Amino acid sequence: MNLNTRFRSTAALGVLLAALAISGCSDGGNDDGGTTGGGTTGGTSGGTTGGVTGGTTGGAGATGDLYISFDAGGDAGSTDVYSSDLSTRRSTFNTGLNEGIVAFNGTLNAVGVIAGVATLRQISNFPDRGGMAYNAELDDEVMFPTFREPKGIALAGVTRNQLIVGDAAAAEPGTDLPSLHLLTTLVGLANPRVVADIPESLAGGRTWDVAYDGTTDRLYAAMTNGTVAVYDTFTVRGTLAGVGGPLPAPSRTITPGRVSGGQSSQVSVNLHGVSYDRASDSLVLSDVGMAASDSDGALFVIANASTASDVATGTGPAIVQPARMIAGPATRLGNPVDILLRDGNLFVAEKINGGGQILRFNAIVTATGSGDIAPNQAVTTASLNSVGGPESITNAD
């Protein structure tokens, strides 16, 4: 057996073992990646933002803290640590990336684009490095030239050795762009490798954010066409696709809508954030509407999410009617680009209304009523000296 054959066999064994041990973990979102340990691109994009704007209270994050990524324009990006009551920015770290983030076991996974190439950076000992920046000697970097615009990211796998990444590139006529990626750490390999790429034609749209339920191996993918693609047994099917099986297609879709006078209609426009509450089996979605508007955002709560599916209701399109819909000027929702469910409350990363805010809506899945409902708390990120607009929000681990 030559070296190449042995490598292929090891890789196949790795994905098969992963397929047999997928569930039991919940999240908080091509070809093999490129260089690791801070390839040639890593060091140049770090800049000095982290050290200059870092809070004076940097250090290990407290239990319950929030990690929030910020988009400062271009390739510039950072992740700030906020206290759970949104009163304090504890620190900032210059990741050089400005899209989705997720943390586990002291490592922050961050995605974005550097010099036109989709990139994943894994920041080690993140809670203890406030005021610092990406360091090629301490952190890992993997570049994926065939990804386009990585957005939301989620962890999966029993040992959280898998990553699910949404991809929402602008349309290119005649090109079937990627919409969703499954990455894994294979047996004998340290760096994340791509197991399956799901194109837009199969996904049914561009995936902006993902929420994964490890108990059932179910993925909820929020798409920019206003629809949620639901994938049952996602990582099992995706892992098997890595050894020659078919790519996983959505099991069903959820399209928020309403019925008036016997006529159904879609009310969602451009879904971005998605978060799942297993205890109540509820899905919460954020809709940015028109990207240029700072006042047309919305939130939807979908009941019985694990079995919800579009059905013909009335004479219009097949829809799912939300249990709650929150929209209007009092909500402060303009571009709610990401959301996080925690202890029954919803934290919203609002990118442009008020120059960028973090909003909190209490008891989002248990409260009743829809309409123009004000958040229970609203904090402008500039008031805490964050730079740029909030892009992604996740729990500190």
DSSP one-letter string for 97-116: --S-EEEETTEEEEEEEETT
- CA geometry: angle at 337 spanning 326 and 91, to 5°? 120
The pLDDT, as a whole number, for residue 61 is 44
The model's pLDDT over 195-222, given as tens digits with 9 standing for 90+, comes to 999 999 999 999 999 999 999 999 999 9
The pLDDT, as a whole number, for residue 158 is 77
Nearest to 217 by CA among 154, 280, 279: 154
The model's pLDDT over 13-39, given as tens digits with 9 standing for 90+, comes to 444 444 444 444 444 433 333 333 333
Host H or E run for residue 239:
helix 234-241
Is pLDDT of 304 > 50? yes
Q: Tell me the residue type at 183.
A: L
Cα(176)–Cα(146) distance, rounded to whole angstroms? 12
The pLDDT, as a whole number, for residue 40 is 31
% of the chain residues with pLDDT over 90: 76
* Mean pLDDT, range 259-286, rounded to an integer: 97
3-class DSSP state of 17: helix
Q: What is the mean pLDDT of the chain?
A: 86
Cα(97)–Cα(149) distance, rounded to whole angstroms? 12
Say if CB 100 and CB 113 are below 8 A apart. Answer: no
Lowest mean pLDDT among 53-62, 249-258, 340-349, 385-394: 53-62
Beta carbons within 8 Å of 274's beta carbon, 6+ residues apart = 152, 209, 210, 211, 220, 221, 222, 228, 283, 284, 285, 286, 339
The pLDDT, as a whole number, for residue 192 is 86
- Phi first, then psi: what are they for 201, rounded to 5°? -60, -30
Predicted confidence band at 51 (pLDDT cuts at 50, 70, 90)?
very low
Residue the block writes with tokens 């324009």? 73
The pLDDT, as a whole number, for residue 45 is 32
The pLDDT, as a whole number, for residue 226 is 98
Beta carbons within 8 Å of 23's beta carbon, 6+ residues apart = 158, 214, 215, 216, 217, 235
Nearest to 113 by CA among 188, 186, 170: 170
Predicted confidence band at 257 (pLDDT cuts at 50, 70, 90)?
very high
Q: In what order do the strands lie in the sheet with 218-223?
A: 207-213, 218-223, 228-231, 252-254
The pLDDT, as a whole number, for residue 62 is 52
Q: pTM, whole model, 2 decimals?
A: 0.86
Is pLDDT of 56 > 90? no
Predicted confidence band at 319 (pLDDT cuts at 50, 70, 90)?
very high
The pLDDT, as a whole number, for residue 35 is 34
The pLDDT, as a whole number, for residue 313 is 86
Residue the block writes with tokens 């709650």? 324
The model's pLDDT over 214-248, given as tens digits with 9 standing for 90+, comes to 999 999 999 999 999 999 999 999 999 999 999 99
The pLDDT, as a whole number, for residue 18 is 44
Number of alpha helices (DSSP H) and beta strands (DSSP E) in the chain:
5, 28
The model's pLDDT over 92-139, given as tens digits with 9 standing for 90+, comes to 999 999 999 999 999 999 999 999 999 999 999 999 999 999 999 999
Nearest to 221 by CA among 177, 178, 268, 253: 253
The pLDDT, as a whole number, for residue 75 is 78
- Phi first, then psi: what are they for 104, rounded to 5°? -160, 130
